Amino acid sequence: MHSVPQQRNRTYVLPFLSYQLGQTDDRSGAHSEFSGEHLHAGPRELQTLVREADSAGVALLILSENTHSANQPLQWEPGVLAAFLATQTTHIGLVVGASPCVFEPFNLARLIASTDYVSNGRAGWLVQEYGPTDTAQRYVTGPGARGIASNENLPEYISVIRKLWDSWEDDAFVRDKSTGCFVLSEKVHAVKHEGLHFSVEGALNVARPPQGQPPVVLQWREGCDLHNLEADIAIISPRDSLHAIELQVQIREQNPKWEGLVFANVYFKLTEAADPQSGHVASRLLNSELEGDAKTLAKALLTFAQQSGIDGLNLRPISNAARQLQLASRELLPVWLAQETQTSLDSANLPRITLRQKLRLRRPANRLQESSSI
């Protein structure tokens, strides 16, 4: 019998809640063709949805690309949408889904760093891995595809991204009018990366992000080396609480040095009113799915969280995503937070902190600064 993993790095006793919009490459069978209905939501609808999630106390919003869009045009670009939403919110983290198959390391490092500045330290990166037949093949063609990342060179790709974020020290910009000194050149470092797959000189043309390094999120797979990939959050798709325990034990045993968080995908359908005759009673998480009214779902989520010891719950609507997430913010979140007995969450009075601070993830040291001082 597996023991319940200890609750780690928790700001509140309740697990963190995240919303996810967009399809992903989780390869989880029943949900690998996750509904694309949300792609039809307009800017105003999304603005309202995310503002309500921000006020309700949702920790982060994951904006993933549509990886199954061969027959459906992409309705948004996550990086552009995150930059817009950053100006409309104050607390919620904004995690940008982006594939190494589409972006060169320099361009992606710049995109995430810029989003971190626009959001005052609330950005993150969801690493979306594509297979050989997925959407990315429309981008990756010809001789220029040699340096584009694949699953095999993903560790090097992520390492280059982090080096680029560290190419400026935190206090490189002095902006001293009295001396005319704008930046200290000795605090700017060339990356000078020469690896098996990538050659990057650097430095990045954006200063070090407010968080130092925005959190990196990965969909976990069997054998995934989270420590080597330097992930901050791993997302799993458990069948139930027992399976969630088994996956967490497996992750911690395979990655003993890893200090990140584990979130669980939960696919849900929130009914607007309790219907005893419906036959849908969310007594427990089954095959990552829940259905029921707000009170029933909140109780089921709490039971799952207590039994599994999970760090966070990644809520994903089964259908009609925009409406479902709006209902979750208005009806599910108040009931969910009412179950917390030690800490009340008043988003209007919360201090404006970075996403790393909210998740209690330590601020990484600047690796290029450390190496230059040796």
DSSP string, 282-311: -SS-BTTEEEE-HHHHHHHHHHHHHHHT-S
In a domain, 117, yes or no: yes
In a domain, 265, yes or no: yes
Specify the pLDDT at position 340. Answer: 65
Per the structure, the complete domain to which residue 259 belongs is given by 16-143+210-372
In a domain, 181, yes or no: no
In a domain, 32, yes or no: yes
Specify the pLDDT at position 366. Answer: 87
In a domain, 88, yes or no: yes
Specify the pLDDT at position 27. Answer: 41
Whichever domain contains 223, its CATH number is: 3.20.20.30
- From first to last of its 374 residues, the chain has per-residue pLDDT tens of 455 555 444 433 578 999 988 755 454 444 433 444 444 567 788 889 999 999 999 999 999 876 444 445 556 789 999 999 999 999 999 999 998 888 889 999 999 999 999 999 999 999 987 644 444 454 444 444 444 545 678 889 999 999 999 988 888 787 878 888 877 778 788 888 888 888 888 788 999 999 999 999 999 888 788 888 889 999 999 999 999 999 999 999 988 889 999 999 999 999 866 555 444 444 455 666 888 899 999 999 999 999 999 999 999 998 888 888 999 999 999 998 887 654 444 455 567 899 999 999 999 988 877 665 43
Distance from chain centroid for Cα 101: 18
In a domain, 148, yes or no: no
Specify the pLDDT at position 101. Answer: 83
Q: Please choose, from the candidates 204, 255, 247, 254, the residue with its C-alpha nearest in 3D space to the C-alpha of residue 227.
A: 255
- The span from the CA of 330 to the CA of 274, in Å, is 15
Number of domains in the chain: 1
Show Cβ contacts of residue 115 under 8 Å, excluding neighbours closer than 6 positions: 79, 82, 83, 86, 94, 96, 123, 214
How big is the chain by its Cα radius of gyration, in Å? 21
